[in-house]
Structure 1
Amino acid sequence: METDIDYRLVSSDDHIVEPPDVWEGRLEAKLQARAPHVIVQDEMDYWTFEDRQIPNIGLSVMAGRPYEEYTTDPVRFSGMRKGCYDPKERLLDMDRDGIEISALFPSVPGMAGTLFSEAQDKTLGLRCLETYNDWLADTWCAADPKRFVGQMIVPLWDLDLAVKELQRGLDLGHKALSFPNAPESLGLPNIGDKHWDPLWDAVEEAGIPVSMHIASGSMRDSPLPLAVAAGTPAEVFVTVAPSSNFISVATLLWSGVLDRHPKLRFLSVEGGIGWLGYLVQRADEVYKKHRYWTRSAIKQPPSFYFKRQVFANFLDDEVGLATRHHIGIENIMFEVDYPHSDTTFPNSKELVAERFKDVPPDETRLIVRDNAIKFFGLDVQ
């Protein structure tokens, strides 16, 4: 079966490498000097915020480079592809790669804004978080609002502030909320805890989805600590990093949050999909055999909630595609992960043509384009 793709793809996961001027001139004078800013030290660029120095790690900016050049060493802005930090250049790279629309995650703030949620000065953290959401809308997404999907971050430490910022983000035009996959690793209640219900009420009312990116909580995410233990080969962490969403998805299915909020929709980001068929099957088996002694919080088998409210994306997952009907073809979508080291750029359309050669054209289009358009509520044909 030939895969003739005469349309552009939609990427449900890409990353902004924030340029040095994101916070410049946007905060009150008393806070401006303490906002994130770039310093040069030992001929290398570093972001600095409170007592932290944050480099642009090489693996996060490898788009367009041969595998032989991959590195964890810090990279200066001058040493990375301009599409990493310039929205107009990003659009050109999307054109080169056959990508029409890109859903965006932050880098410096953490993929769910955890840098600011862990700030010592919460007033400063809030203003920096608000400023990021402003900049995302008025600078990056403004370069082409029809092609960039802004995903806002909210102050996780205060639910009233979180709901307020959610509404403000909606007014700015953002289409989704980026939320930690493991808030408990930040000392907060888990993603299914009733603590978050006021936020989920507001998200449901707004009708937007929630994205939970792997490792968006903290490096304390289970089971990642074992993967970075002393003496463990580096390849172990790279191999199992997607597993940080396994527990997150299971928590969604079992916690009752999807029962309490039937219109809430979650996207498991960059965790792949090859494991999902088994996870949901196993969860249904647990429901059948164990729900009596566990006094299960859910009213239906986990597969019911998964099909209705849980989605996942992938880059290159042959096992996942082979089991797509077990997962649900309307629950999965493609991602490019630009400019990270796993990115499919600049060969995304070629990869899709190869991997989907035995997938019917109507299913292919759903997975690499239409599902994401529907998920993010985009006005695109």
Structure 2
Amino acid sequence: MFLIKEITARRSLIVSEVLGLIDTDIHNEVRNQEQILPYLAEVWHRQWLQAGTSIGMPFYSPVGVLRRDAVPEDGGTPGSDPSMIIKEHMDLYGFDYGILNWGRAIEMSIHPDPDYANVVVSAHNDLLADVWLKTDPRFRGSIVINHSDPEATAKEINRMAGHPGFVQVIMCSAARLPFGQRYYHPIYEAAERNGLPVAIHPGTEGRGISGAPTPSGYPTRYMEWHNILPTNYMTHVNSLVCEGVFEKFPKLKFVGIEGGISWLPHLMWRMDKNYKAMRASAPWLKRLPSEYIKEHFYFTTQPIEEPGNKQYLEQIIEMSGMEDNIMYSSDYPHWDFDNPKVVMASFSKRIRSKIMAENAMNLYKLKKEPLEAFE
């Protein structure tokens, strides 16, 4: 059983200048294909064993995607062993909480078969509740969904929201339609009614049924693709605000994971400027677009931008007025994992505790100390 005294001692050596430490993006995976079978109806077993998520990555990464030192001792996918994540990540850095976000399962939103996608995400949610959330009281989970079937997704959110270990809904950021369009409203209604933020996560742009990852088509290489991912986040933020989603769902919160933060002032300024001249095209909006962003959006640090002068990054956060909306994330066990000590050094003491813990505590309604693991 996890001991609060032990974790407090570790934190005093590593993160003594913050009031807590929360990782909002830990990627867990299934150990092997067979692990999912008890949670799938038998009619789907052959397809799952032979095809899995079936959405391949078209770009070659010379550094890989997953850290080699995160492979379990007895083999398996990095991030698939709860005890290893606890020892090599949660305990090592002294995290109070870690939000678990399935890695490959978010691909199901862009799978061509919505029925298969629905049962696969449901199976992952059941496995998370049945195994992972019972392992350590610091773990919290995200309900993975198939955003290509909003009605089924609303039912899945309702089904899993009663479990106290789930603190948000998560879906991939690749899509056939921008997220502000009314097609997605059943998802937002269910999330708002259950008091759950909706998170989006990149990595599937240009795959499955989502279409090209940029308005001009496909990049040539992985680095080009990785560099440009924030443009998709800008698309969704712009759409959600301009389409009036937050007027219809005033309590809804959105979380942009792994999309960066330095583009925020540019988008906010541009949206505000255009709104002043063209507000007749969006008569449902009652405030400046930037005000909706400040109230309804959160963003995570990883992959944190690294300007030559580290003060520039904090200045950008100040420009956007988002210091209460930025949360630390490690992206463990991916190749561009961000060490919390390195991230903390990027910010002054003035906002360090907010980013490393307080903002996440407020959004996810977390207690100061974890209780017992969920049974």
Shorter-chain TM range is 0.7 to 0.9
Match 1:60 to one of 55, 65, 71: 65
Match 1:147 to one of 138, 142, 151: 138
CA offsets, 1:255-298, max 9 Å, x none?
Answer: 11011111000011111111101211111111112223x34542
Tell me, in whole angstroms, the C-alpha distance in 1 between the residues paired with 2:286 and 2:150: 27
CA contact (8 A) 2:100 2:142 kept: yes
CA contact (8 A) 2:31 2:77 kept: no
Tell me, in whole angstroms, the C-alpha distance in 2 between the residues paired with 1:221 and 1:80: 35
Match 1:373 to one of 361, 372, 375: 361
Deviation at 1:247, TM superposition (A): 1.0
Aligned to 1:100: 96
Deviation at 1:162, TM superposition (A): 1.8
Indicate whether 1:174 and 2:179 are aligned: no
- The structure carrying a bigger strand percent of its residues is 1
Deviation at 1:28, TM superposition (A): 3.1
Indicate whether 1:237 and 2:250 are aligned: no
Tell me, in whole angstroms, the C-alpha distance in 2 between the residues paired with 1:24 and 1:246: 38
Three-state SS of the structure 2 residue aligned to 1:165 is helix
CA contact (8 A) 1:254 1:296 kept: no
Sort the Cα spacing of 1:81 and 1:32 in 2 relative to 1 into closer, same or farther, 3 A: closer
Aligned to 1:25: 38
Aligned to 2:314: 321
The equivalences for 1:207-286 within 5 A come to 207-216=195-204, 218-219=206-207, 220=210, 223-224=213-214, 228-229=218-219, 232-286=220-274
Tell me, in whole angstroms, the C-alpha distance in 1 between the residues paired with 2:221 and 2:189: 43
Sort the Cα spacing of 1:373 and 1:50 in 2 relative to 1 into closer, same or farther, 3 A: closer
Sort the Cα spacing of 1:6 and 1:285 in 2 relative to 1 into closer, same or farther, 3 A: closer
Three-state SS of the structure 1 residue aligned to 2:96 is strand
Sort the Cα spacing of 1:221 and 1:14 in 2 relative to 1 into closer, same or farther, 3 A: farther
Match 2:296 to one of 306, 309, 319: 309
CA contact (8 A) 1:62 1:340 kept: yes
Tell me, in whole angstroms, the C-alpha distance in 2 between the residues paired with 1:50 and 1:237: 21
Sort the Cα spacing of 1:130 and 1:287 in 2 relative to 1 into closer, same or farther, 3 A: same
Deviation at 1:142, TM superposition (A): 1.6
Tell me, in whole angstroms, the C-alpha distance in 2 between the residues paired with 1:243 and 1:254: 16
Deviates more, 1:11-20 or 1:193-202: 193-202
Tell me, in whole angstroms, the C-alpha distance in 2 between the residues paired with 1:375 and 1:242: 22
CA contact (8 A) 1:275 1:320 kept: no
Q: Which runs of 5+ in 2 are unaligned?
A: 1-14, 370-375
Tell me, in whole angstroms, the C-alpha distance in 2 between the residues paired with 1:104 and 1:154: 14
Aligned to 1:192: 180
Sort the Cα spacing of 1:249 and 1:216 in 2 relative to 1 into closer, same or farther, 3 A: farther
Sort the Cα spacing of 1:119 and 1:323 in 2 relative to 1 into closer, same or farther, 3 A: same
CA offsets, 1:15-54, max 9 Å, x none?
Answer: 11321033133333333333x23xxxxxxxxx72386678
Match 2:80 to one of 70, 76, 85: 85
Tell me, in whole angstroms, the C-alpha distance in 2 between the residues paired with 1:83 and 1:28: 26
Query: How many pairs were matched up?
Result: 341
CA contact (8 A) 2:146 2:153 kept: yes
CA contact (8 A) 1:4 1:353 kept: no
Indicate whether 1:159 and 2:150 are aligned: yes
Deviation at 1:63, TM superposition (A): 6.0
Tell me, in whole angstroms, the C-alpha distance in 1 between the residues paired with 2:354 and 2:179: 28
CA contact (8 A) 1:17 1:85 kept: yes
The one-letter code sitting in structure 2 at the alignment partner of 1:17 is E
Tell me, in whole angstroms, the C-alpha distance in 2 between the residues paired with 1:307 and 1:288: 18
Deviates more, 1:49-58 or 1:239-248: 49-58
CA contact (8 A) 2:125 2:143 kept: yes
Deviation at 1:336, TM superposition (A): 0.4
Aligned to 1:138: 130
CA contact (8 A) 1:258 1:264 kept: yes
Tell me, in whole angstroms, the C-alpha distance in 1 between the residues paired with 2:274 and 2:212: 21
Deviation at 1:178, TM superposition (A): 0.7
CA offsets, 1:117-154, max 9 Å, x none?
Answer: 5327x1x443322111100111122211x322211123
Aligned to 1:49: 52
Match 1:330 to one of 303, 320, 324: 324
Tell me, in whole angstroms, the C-alpha distance in 2 between the residues paired with 1:118 and 1:312: 29
CA contact (8 A) 1:176 1:211 kept: yes
Q: Which runs of 5+ in 1 are unaligned?
A: 38-46, 66-75
Sort the Cα spacing of 1:369 and 1:50 in 2 relative to 1 into closer, same or farther, 3 A: closer
